[in-house]
Amino acid sequence: DPEVSKQEVDTAIFNLSIYCLENPTQCEKGTQWMGAFAFNASVLIVTAINFIVMAFGGFFFYPRYFGTWCNLCYGCCHCAAFITALSVRFNPYGIFCSYNVESSTFVAYDQFTDDSTYKSDGTMLAGLGFVQIILWVIQC
């Protein structure tokens, strides 16, 4: 990324080197952003469905009762989801990857699109994590 200074890149490389020496299995797995996106999306979808069920609780007792118990469980999952999103985005591997302005969307052999970059994916993951925190506070 041309907007990132050489000192920031050098610091990111140094931190990534230390991180990979201390956590070699984590570095072999890559950024794990895809897993964080999938986990956060599934938690948001299930939570939205539960909120719809709880809306029926305004008219009927049992949907609110079961929805409240499910909401308790989803609150724990929600907490894990935003911790996952922020931890994989802001660990040294995620910081280093977020400086990359190359395309992250593969179309066909040796072809990438300009739809999204690793930098935009990192920004989206960070935004998703912060939105999750706001929704979690509202949920609990």
> pLDDT by residue (tens digit) across 29-45?
888 888 998 998 898 88
**pTM check: above 0.85:** no
- Return the domain boundaries, the chain: 30-139
Residue 132 has pLDDT above 90, yes or no: no
Structure tokens that stand for 73 in this block: 């469980």
Q: What are the backbone angles phi and psi of residue 115, rounded to the nearest 5°?
A: -60, -45
> pLDDT by residue (tens digit) across 7-31?
999 999 999 999 999 988 988 888 8
Residue that is written with structure tokens 């009927």 in the block: 60
Separation between Cα atoms, residue 83 and residue 130, nearest integer Å: 10
Q: What are the backbone angles phi and psi of residue 3, rounded to the nearest 5°?
A: -80, -15
